[in-house]
Structures are given as C-alpha cells and as structure tokens.
Amino acid sequence: ESKMSQDDLKRAVARAAFEYVESILEDSTIVGVGTGSTANFFIKELGNIRHKINGAVASSEESARRLKEINIPVFDLNSVGEVEIYVDGADESNEYLQLIKGGGAALTREKIIAAASKEFLCIADESKLVKVLGKFPLPVEVIPMARSYVGRQLVKLGGDPVYRENCVTDNGNYILDVFNLEILDPRKLENDINRIAGVVTNGLFAERTADRLFIGTGSDVKTIEA
Ligand code: 5RP
C-alpha cells in the first residue's frame, strides 16, 4: 500500500469540499474561496461547476487570479449579499475548530469573508489538527508604522514576534509571526491582540470558528462539526 503524500491528502479534502458545496448549491450561490495550497486544489475542483454558481469572492489577489484563469467570475464582497459558503485551509485547528490562519498572509480578508459567510468549511490534512494551538507561529497583520510598537506589546503577552521578511499583504501592511505561544484561551488571546493599536487583525479564528472541518487522513476524509 503506497503512503499518501500531503498533496494527495489536500486533494482529497478539496474534492470532499467540492462535493459538499455541490450538494448545497442554489440558483445564485456565491462561494467564498480561501488562499493557499489546499484552497488551490479546491479552486481546481470548483471549475467543474462554474456554470452552476454565480461566482466567487476571494480572500486574496492570488486566489482571485486563479479563479479568473478558469473563468469563474470574482466579485467584490461589497457587491454581493451574504456568502453562502466559504471554503479555506488553515495552518492549525484544534478539536473545537478554533484555527490559526495566515501562513499565506491573507488572514484579514479571510477573517472578513468568514464573518460574512453563512457557513465556513475548513479543509486540511491531518498534520494540521493539534491539541493546543500555537506551535505554528501566530500571524499578526500590522499597519507599517506600528510594527515595532506592536512587537513590544506582543512580547508582553508572552510571545516572540518575528517580522516576516519581504512580505507586504494585499492590504499594504506587514506581518509579525509570533513564536512560542501556548494558546490555552484562544478567544481571549484573539481579543487581547486585536486591542493593540496598529493591529489590523491576527490569525486566530476563535470568535468565529469554522463550522465544519474536513480532515484528510491516510485512509479517508473525516468530518468534525462545531
Ligand atoms: C493563508 C491561510 C492558509 O489557509 C493556510 O496558510 C494554509 O495553507 P496551505 O493550504 O498551503 O497549507 O491561512 O493565509
């Protein structure tokens, strides 16, 4: 029996997400589309039903480009009503579907689309499922002039922030990756960091968790519901 690669697992959860989206499609469905290698597999699958959906909203310029490449109309979030379903990957998830996102620097737009969506379906390979969040450094998007100030405040919260080199977000801001956090109360930390002046948002999705998580294991795709 050949071992499945991480890409095979990502492809399998993207396929499962596609089938789920197909099963809830209505006449005018707008699909929220995330960012990253797992989301990219989902974008490919979405091409199969491009005539059955109204279009998509994207959490990054990169995903918007990939969607347009396969002729899926991409809308500005302001010009659509409620987003039916949002599909995206994550860097970590715990069993409560609280997430760390932002490895691809798209956390702010991801958080906005998650907030504006009826349902948030997260897709990930099993390496992303953890007991306690924080092994993956927590991304924080900051206004450029606030970078050092925010860094000092993050140290006071117990983390080790590192400026992400050569990274400007789609919103024109910077990313601090915060190492060595053991996140025992994700909602509290999400709110504490977001209260720092100059922080746009951080990659904890604990106030608005995923609603459903598809996890790719070597043998199948498991579902966890919030
Ligand atoms: C981008 C994200 C991604 O969902 C996260 O980084 C996972 O990416 P990948 O599917 O490539 O592992 O939050 O900001």
pLDDT digit string (tens) for 174-200?
A: 999 999 998 999 999 999 999 999 999
On whether the CB atoms of residues 180 and 159 are closer than 8 A, the answer is: yes
Tell me how far the alpha carbon of residue 179 lies from the centroid of ligand 1, in angstroms: 17
Residue 66 is inside which H or E element, if any?
A: helix 61-69
- pLDDT range class, residue 1, cuts 50, 70, 90: very low
Structure-token pair, residue 121 = 């379906």
Contact assessment for residue 132 and residue 182, using Cβ atoms and an 8 Å cutoff: yes
- pTM score: 0.96
From 86, 101, 111, 213, mutation site for ligand 1 pocket: most ligand atoms within 8 A of C-beta: 101
Contacts of 94 (CB under 8 A, 6+ apart): 129, 130, 131, 132, 133, 186
Does ligand 1 have an atom closer than 6 angstroms to the CB of 101? yes
Residue 3 has pLDDT above 80, yes or no: no
How far lies 107's CA from each of 22, 56, 101, 122, 178, in Å?
A: 26, 18, 6, 14, 14
pLDDT tens-digit profile of 196-219? 999 999 999 999 999 999 999 988
Task: Give the pLDDT confidence of 153-172 residue by residue, as tens digits.
Answer: 999 999 999 999 999 999 99
Q: Quick check: helix, strand or coil at residue 20?
A: helix
